[in-house]
Amino acid sequence: MELNDTDTVTPKPEFEDGKVVAITHFPSVIIHQQANTFGMRHVIPKGVDSFELAWTFFGYEDDEEEMTRLRVRHANLYGPAGFVAMEDGEVLSESQLGAHHYGHRRAVVEMGGKDVEAQDHMVTEVLIRAFYKHYCEAMGL
């Protein structure tokens, strides 16, 4: 099997490190840079049983037409109907479905436990938990 058009999966080198980056701004914004995309996912609560997921992609004013075309093509990998990231919206939806039954109580969805110890990977909520642990201590809570 072979792709007829590899533009969607072939980024143009743009930065020296060439890394994929995703930064979560708790609780509802994720900024990401993957391939030649720079984008933002924003979870907008619409009630106890619904939310909206907004996707925004950015480019540079001085981008050449070819780079703009690549950015749009690569957004097809990571956007709302993305070949790679479409499960992001599904995960949010499934989490909402699991938590909304507890409207009269608190519902907590954890990823990776309750500790704040350093991890050897980035798929963790340790930084968020460590922030709130420090915040509570600093505020005397």
Q: Is the pLDDT of residue 25 over 90?
A: no
Spatial strand order in the sheet of 29-34:
21-25, 29-34, 37-47, 50-58
Cα distances (angstroms) measured from residue 31 to each of 50, 57, 97, 121: 22, 10, 24, 18
List, for residues 60-75, the tens digit of each pLDDT value.
Answer: 999 999 999 988 888 8
3-state secondary structure at position 109: coil
The reported pTM is: 0.58
* Extents of the domains making up the chain: 7-109, 110-141
